[in-house]
């Protein structure tokens, strides 16, 4: 299906099913409520076929270009039916499975993720390893029965809700760096895994510490080749910086629009409002071009760091305006709407941290796009 | 144009810019069919030429041609079209009491013309184009920040009739929109040229025993410059596709701000060497500062956008997938 036909048909379906899709909670829900809403929306859009477009048939998809996925997330966000950040996680996780899991495993698992029957998480960061991912130390040892995993992950988003985890482990020597990492697809109900949710500063237990104590993972759950997990992580980065960023942009668009419709116009400097709008549209223009390249079958690379830098900056700029224009909601309001603005303001502070900090993105731009050579 | 045609087109423009300047450049552009390209594929013609003009710090009468064509005036490529005064977007002429009050800026092509085309607004808000003899106007050749740009400031009040022949109705907002995109591309071209100067300097200049391009503070400035320029370029492309004055103005303002951001970072990286008159950097800074003010300054266009958004109380949906 082409994007224009898809858009028209989906918009009509969303109008018809407005009541069924609407969240049962008002304003900022608890994380449990948000997760329940997400699962409900995922199931409805999957069963009606919408979220199967843009994914290959071998994982239960209906084919068609990735633009269809980009539009689906955009319109669900624009209608305030889902929270873009958690909604977009399959945009990274599903391609990992499609590209690196065995065909049978991908065909079995991906539909569960897309339909919202399961939540998955991404276990990359560790207490000692954030930006310097290649130094990770969570260990996997090959035994007769399979991999035995021991170690710790941290800031693992939605781990406490997750049925599976895409986990990066150390399989080479301790100092093998990026040459000795293996990616595994782990069942979160395996014996030896314990999850301890962490409260974030925006007040939700969105991420967790995850402990692995001699956890058995069958060899057929290895993603890609042994010791080649680094290339998986690298191949996935452009996915992190394409469709999910388009969805993020749609969220910022909605909230900026809502700010404009609520704010006392005197409370904001018009020039600043204009600057932020231009930045947001510039991101949208850039991200649309990226979506189109992806749809044409181009391989995305380091240039997507520019998209990420733009959206991170735009998110903080939008919520800096919110903090000025709706200062009393953000600072002293305790009603549902105020709590939501406040939580989103706080969450926007992380936009320059997660998914690779803006310093790391700038390093990539300098190294790969400007070809400035080594930084030592 | 397909990729091969585009490459050929760009290469021939590049040669024209390398070999000619002033009226010679205008003739060369005419000879290689740039104005035909402008009428068939305006986006390609404008984007490629103006980015090159920006990168080469060159001047031509191409902006006159873009504005004239977009305004719907047929001039066979020979007119000098008066721009609004610095920082403004409204037409440079105002019709009142049987006369036309004129105030505006003319590009370098004025030096080789006897007349200037002035778009004037009448009391009903419609616009007409007038051909006004240069001799009828007060002309101040501008030295200013960027003498190489060859601008002149024109003013005067001309009685309608024999002194000003009417050329017909003019679509001023279309002219401003397309002129803004052209200037946006020129700003992007200048931004890229500055970045390339700073980038090669960063690779060659050694301090503390290492190329300065290995210092993260330097790398991040250059990377911020690239992000600003690419973002401006992307917004320009989307504005072409959108085709409205709103997005053209946004793209021009954003390109101006981005070029100035890049100029600041690149100057810091070039440091003492870049501060000499001998180094080409300053010519780009000068050009960027002046282009940023033509057909609306980024600061006032941006403020206006903000006022409009705050007035409308909504954010328009633009750039659909
Ligand atoms: C809301 C949220 C959700 C997250 N979800 C997940 C998840 O689901 N899965 C997961 O694996 N991880 C997740 N993370 C973790 C995230 O990926 C890391 O926080 C991030 O990569 C940065 O690592 P760090 O926090 O250890 O910071 P550090 O790497 O310790 O960096 C600290 C500071 O130093 C700077 N710095 C570090 N190295 C360099 C360098 N070479 N050059 C210049 N500056 C440098 C950084 O930019 C930063 O400003 C999440 C984080 C947040 C905030």
Give domain limits for chain B.
Answer: 3-72, 93-169, 172-312
Mean pLDDT of A195-221: 96
A365 touches chain B (CB under 8 A): yes
Which residues in B lie closer than 8 A to residue A291 (C-beta atoms)? 321
Q: Which fold has domain A241-369?
A: Butyryl-CoA Dehydrogenase, subunit A; domain 3 (1.20.140)
Inspect the interface and report whether the beta carbons of A372 and B219 lie closer than 8 Å. Answer: yes
Inspect the interface and report whether the beta carbons of A365 and B227 lie closer than 8 Å. Answer: yes
Return the percentage of chain A with pLDDT > 70, whole number. 100
A268 touches chain B (CB under 8 A): yes
A363 lines ligand 1 (CB under 6 A): yes
Taken in order B246, B250, B251, B253, the sign of the CA dihedral is positive
Q: Residue B5 to residues B2, B8, B196: CA-CA distances in angstroms?
A: 5, 5, 26
Q: Which fold has domain A121-227?
A: Butyryl-CoA Dehydrogenase, subunit A; domain 2 (2.40.110)
Lowest model confidence (mean pLDDT) among A350-359, B70-79, B162-171, B289-298: B162-171
The CATH code of domain B172-312 reads 1.20.140.10
Residue A278, min C-alpha distance to chain B (Å)? 6
As a whole number of angstroms, the distance between CA A137 and CA A129 comes to 8
* pLDDT reading at B75 higher than 80: no
Average pLDDT, chain B: 95
Return the percentage of chain A with pLDDT > 90, whole number. 94
Nearest to B223 among A257, A370, A373 (CB): A370
Q: List the single best residue of B225, B231, B233 to mutate versus A (max A Cβ within 10 A).
A: B231
Higher pLDDT, B194 or A25: B194
Nearest to B227 among A3, A268, A309 (CB): A309
A120 lines ligand 1 (CB under 6 A): no
Q: Which fold has domain B93-169?
A: Butyryl-CoA Dehydrogenase, subunit A; domain 2 (2.40.110)
DSSP string over B229-276: HHHHHHHHHHHHHH--HHHHHHHHHHHHHHHHHHHHHHHHHHHHHHTS
SS3 category, B155: strand
Tell me the per-residue pLDDT of A241-298, one tens digit each, with 9 for 90 and over. 899 999 999 999 999 999 999 999 999 999 999 999 999 999 999 999 999 999 999 9
Mean pLDDT of B277-302: 98
Lowest model confidence (mean pLDDT) among A41-45, A235-239, B98-102: A235-239
Note the helical H segments in chain A: 3-16, 18-21, 31-47, 66-78, 84-87, 90-100, 103-114, 229-240, 243-262, 270-295, 304-325, 327-331, 336-348, 358-364
Residues A370 and B226: beta-carbon distance below 8 Å: yes
SS3 category, A167: strand
Residue to substitute in A169, A357, A372 for testing ligand 1 pocket (most ligand atoms within 8 angstroms of CB):
A357
Inspect the interface and report whether the beta carbons of B223 and A369 lie closer than 8 Å. Answer: yes
Return the percentage of chain B with pLDDT > 70, whole number. 98
ipTM for this model: 0.96
pTM (predicted TM-score): 0.97
Residue bearing the CA closest to ligand 1, atom 5: A157
Nearest to A372 among B213, B250, B313 (CB): B213
Q: Residue B163 has what pLDDT?
A: 65
Residues constituting chain B: 321
Tell me the per-residue pLDDT of A287-344, one tens digit each, with 9 for 90 and over. 999 999 999 999 999 999 999 999 999 999 999 999 999 999 999 999 999 999 999 9
As a whole number of angstroms, the distance between CA A283 and CA A312 comes to 10
Chain A, 134 to 193: residues with Cβ < 8 Å from chain B are: none
């Amino acid at each position: 299906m082409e994007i224009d036909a898809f858009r028209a048909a989906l918009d009509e379906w969303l109008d018809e099913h407005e009541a069924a899709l609407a969240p049962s909670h008002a304003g900022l829900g608890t994380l449990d409520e948000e997760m329940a809403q997400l699962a409900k929306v995922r199931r409805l859009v999957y069963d009606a076929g919408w979220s199967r477009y843009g994914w290959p048939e071998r994982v239960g998809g209906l084919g068609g270009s990735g633009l269809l996925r980009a539009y689906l997330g955009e319109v669900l966000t624009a209608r305030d039916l889902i929270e873009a950040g958690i909604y977009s996680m399959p945009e990274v996780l599903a391609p990992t499975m499609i590209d690196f899991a065995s065909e049978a495993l991908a065909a079995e698992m991906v539909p569960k993720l897309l339909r919202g029957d399961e939540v998955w998480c991404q276990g990359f960061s560790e207490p000692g390893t954030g930006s310097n991912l290649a130094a990770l130390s969570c260990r996997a040892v090959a035994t007769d029965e399979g991999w035995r995993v021991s170690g710790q992950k941290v800031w693992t988003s939605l781990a406490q809700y997750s049925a599976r985890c895409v986990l990066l482990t150390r399989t080479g020597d301790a100092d093998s760096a990026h040459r000795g990492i293996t990616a595994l697809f782990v069942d979160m109900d395996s014996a030896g895994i314990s999850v301890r949710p962490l409260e974030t500063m925006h007040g939700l237990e969105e991420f967790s510490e995850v402990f692995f104590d001699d956890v058995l993972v069958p060899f057929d759950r290895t993603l890609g080749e042994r010791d080649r997990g680094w290339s998986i992580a690298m191949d996935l980065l452009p996915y992190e910086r394409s469709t999910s960023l388009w969805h993020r942009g749609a969220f910022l668009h909605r909230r900026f629009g809502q700010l404009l419709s609520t704010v006392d116009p005197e409370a904001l400097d018009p020039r600043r409002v204009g600057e932020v709008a231009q930045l947001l549209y510039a991101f949208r223009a850039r991200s649309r071009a990226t979506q189109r390249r992806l749809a044409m079958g181009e391989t995305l690379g380091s240039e997507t760091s520019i998209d990420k830098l733009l959206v991170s900056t735009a998110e903080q700029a939008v919520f800096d305006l919110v903090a000025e224009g709706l200062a009393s909601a953000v600072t002293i309001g305790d009603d549902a709407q105020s709590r939501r603005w406040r939580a989103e303001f706080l969450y926007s502070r992380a936009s320059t941290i997660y998914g690779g900090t803006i310093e790391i993105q700038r390093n990539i731009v300098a190294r790969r796009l400007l070809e400035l050579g080594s930084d030592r | 144009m397909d990729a091969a045609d585009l490459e050929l087109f760009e290469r021939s423009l590049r040669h024209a810019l390398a070999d000619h300047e002033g009226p010679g450049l205008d003739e060369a552009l005419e000879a290689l069919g740039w104005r035909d390209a402008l009428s068939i594929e305006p986006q390609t013609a404008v984007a490629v030429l103006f980015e090159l003009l920006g990168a080469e710090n060159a001047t031509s009468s191409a902006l006159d041609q873009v504005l004239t064509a977009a305004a719907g005036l047929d001039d066979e490529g020979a007119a000098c079209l008066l721009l609004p005064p610095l920082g403004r977007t409204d037409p440079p002429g105002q019709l009142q009491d049987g006369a036309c009050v004129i105030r505006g800026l003319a590009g370098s092509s004025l030096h080789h013309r006897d007349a200037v085309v002035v778009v004037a607004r009448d009391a009903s808000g419609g616009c007409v184009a007038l051909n006004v003899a240069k001799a009828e106007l007060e002309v101040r050749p501008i030295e200013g920040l960027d003498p190489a740009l060859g601008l002149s400031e024109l003013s005067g009040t001309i009685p309608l009739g024999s002194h000003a022949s009417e050329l017909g109705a003019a679509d001023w907002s279309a002219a401003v929109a397309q002129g803004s995109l052209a200037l946006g591309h020129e700003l992007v071209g200048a931004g890229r040229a500055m970045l390339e100067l700073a980038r090669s300097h960063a690779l060659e200049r050694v301090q503390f025993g290492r190329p300065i391009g290995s210092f993260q503070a330097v790398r991040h400035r250059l990377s911020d410059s690239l992000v600003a320029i690419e973002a401006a370029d992307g917004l320009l492309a989307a504005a072409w596709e959108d085709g409205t004055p709103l997005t053209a103005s946004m793209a021009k303002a954003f390109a101006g701000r981005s070029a100035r951001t890049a100029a600041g970072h690149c100057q810091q990286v070039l440091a003492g060497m870049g501060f000499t008159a001998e180094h080409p950097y300053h010519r780009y800074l000068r050009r960027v500062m002046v282009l940023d003010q033509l057909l609306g300054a980024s600061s006032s266009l941006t403020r206006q956008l903000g006022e409009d958004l705050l007035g409308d109380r909504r954010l328009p949906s633009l750039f659909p997938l």
